[in-house]
Structure 1
Amino acid sequence: MIIEKAINNDSEQELKNSWFASLSLTFSLTPSGTQLTRTERYGPLSVQKAFYPEGRDCAHIYLLHPPAGIVSGDELHINIAVKRQAHSLITTPGANRFYRAREDHAIGDSKQVQHCKFYLAACAKCENFPLETIVYEGADGFNTVDVHLQNDSAYLGWDITCLGLPSSGQPFKHGRYSQLNRVYCQNTLIYHDRIVIKPENKVHQHIAGLNHQSVFGTFLAYAPLGQFDDDELKTLIVQLREHIISEKADDNISVSQVRRLLIIRYLGQQAEQCKALFIQLWQILRPLYLNKVASIPRIWHT
């Protein structure tokens, strides 16, 4: 469904070429387990029913965007609320795409925007594992992920960005893309990370930027207060680094810490390598953070 962001005759053609969509989901713990208790949607964003491949206490949800990509003028807003003691795992059935922006638009009108917000209540658990985002040459994309935590909630989530299609002879040269990740705990900002890629700042090429690499990813892991002491967290970081070295990926992945937030970064050329390594690290982290072994979403196998 196309909705009007402004109502006037001059904007009628513009509205036909733009999509505004929003999706709000609420997960609650009920006597029968975690359930998707509220869904509000507007435009081309939706979900099917919750899946329970590992029992009723964790609801798996696949976010669906039938257009399969974001074009000039599009705005997608996704809001996920996980109530007290509920546990949700969010993923997607395929890659997200920021397509080439329309060249006939005025400056600023070509923006392609996605905002994702996660709100975790006390003792809530949320895992956010979208498949990769492909940013096409000539795109003008802006992607934001905001996570709002409580001291005793737990979060595991990643984003993986692929710039252009270099293996198909379509490198990312003239496009623009901004990625903003923020984490709040008890309404206090504890993590802010922003990258702005555009031709004039040469972040894509600079050795202090992406150093000509086309794939970058960030995996964030937050443990509830008291779950690990400082020594245990340091031991865990050593374990993660040792695994990365064993996979001969220490040139691609780093692990750091801000308070109780673990930050795992990938920089390289292969989205599949990034995803495979992130899954391996998730398999280490999930039993420690959520007391559950990793259960691979079935949609990833299709």
Structure 2
Amino acid sequence: MNQSAAIPVNTPANGRSWIANLNLNFSRTQTGSRLSSVERNGPLSVQKAFYPEGPDCAHVYLLHPPAGIVSGDELHLSATLEANSHALLTTPGANRFYRARDDKNLGTTLQLQQTHYQIADHATLEHLPQETLIFQGADAVNKIKIELTPSSVYLGWDVICLGLPVMNQAFDKGQFEQLSEVKVGNKLVFHDRLKVNQDNQLLNKAAGLGGHHVVGTFIAAAPVQLSGEQNRHKCEALTEQLRAKITELNASDKVSISQLDMLFVIRYLGDKSEECKKYFAALWQILRQALCQREANIPRIWLT
């Protein structure tokens, strides 16, 4: 694993785009997990780390003051977790991909968000952002790449809202693409691609999103704990516990749980982002206890 997940700083060529880069590094010290370095460029930043559950887990809020991405904008977020460190990343509010701009001088309609996390031995990263709103007419790409070692742990979700139905703005124009990738060492263990546009009609097809506009993906990866014959009974018991919670929440028609080698993939398909986050948070509490041996501690920003 590389020592840094840093993404090179980009400079806009046209003066009309905002290219934001944020590179975080977490390390384990004698006083606990610390946000040891921050490199930033453009409108993407963090506050200081908070420690609502003690020194061993740093809570960090990712801040994007414009609160939205327009054509030509690029957000590049990277984080490196050194051995034995633990960080929880979240956001104070929803992210937005606005309608793409028809600007000949801009040279592109693309709106890009790219996330790259590297998690070293016995380190844990929790990536729990608020929802992302994809406005009608957007030209949006969201990429996330996770690199782990066998002993590291990743718990992370994305909640995507296509269009704004409450404002009578269906996602009937524009396109959205999401790419998710998980690697353990140099081995690709999960690759997922969602592309929604008017040509493929994936939004409305029964074999696609079936007319629903909120889709969520929750990945829980812990290679050492979730692979091998020696962990088979643990995985089966954890799967049953997760499915029992979904049954208790009357969400079996909206949430699916798949246990693959080294990870769980949990999906939501429905029409309410708050509902999706509620279900994911309930499952996160179970997974955090099982894979991190820590009680769930709800980020304070969620309650404001």
TM-score, normalised via structure 1 length: 0.94
Partners of 1:157 and 1:108 lie apart in 2 by 34
Q: 1:281 to 1:226 in 2, by over 3 A?
A: closer
Within 5 Å, which residues of 2 pair with 1:111-122? Answer: 111-122=110-121
Residue 257 of structure 1, CA deviation: 1.8
CA offset digits 1:201-243 (Å, max 9, x no partner):
1011111111110000000001241467011101111111111
Q: Aligned residue for 1:65?
A: 64
Within 5 Å, which residues of 2 pair with 1:16-35? Answer: 17-35=16-34
Q: Aligned residue for 1:230?
A: 232
CA offset digits 1:103-141 (Å, max 9, x no partner):
234897100000001100011011000100000000000
SS of residue paired to 2:224: coil
SS of residue paired to 1:85: coil
Partners of 2:217 and 2:239 lie apart in 1 by 15
Q: Aligned residue for 1:168?
A: 167
**Aligned partner (choices 266, 279, 286) of residue 284 of structure 1:** 286
Partners of 1:108 and 1:267 lie apart in 2 by 35
Partners of 1:90 and 1:142 lie apart in 2 by 21
RMSD, aligned CA: 1.6
SS of residue paired to 1:229: helix
Q: Aligned residue for 2:49?
A: 50
Q: Is the 8 A contact 1:191 1:258 kept in 2?
A: no
Partners of 1:32 and 1:5 lie apart in 2 by 40
Q: 1:217 to 1:88 in 2, by over 3 A?
A: same
Partners of 2:235 and 2:286 lie apart in 1 by 13
**Aligned partner (choices 270, 273, 287) of residue 272 of structure 2:** 270
- The alignment-based identity, stated in percent, is 48
Q: 1:174 to 1:133 in 2, by over 3 A?
A: same
CA offset digits 1:234-261 (Å, max 9, x no partner):
1111111111112111110000022021
Q: 1:301 to 1:102 in 2, by over 3 A?
A: same
4+ residue runs over 2 A deviation: 3-6, 103-108
Residue 5 of structure 1, CA deviation: 2.8
Q: Aligned residue for 1:85?
A: 84
Aligned length: 293
Partners of 2:216 and 2:57 lie apart in 1 by 25
What runs of 5+ residues in structure 2 fail to find an aligned partner? 1-9
What runs of 5+ residues in structure 1 fail to find an aligned partner? 7-13
Within 5 Å, which residues of 2 pair with 1:103-142? Answer: 103-105=102-104, 109-142=108-141
Partners of 1:71 and 1:155 lie apart in 2 by 29
SS of residue paired to 1:238: helix
Partners of 1:152 and 1:82 lie apart in 2 by 13
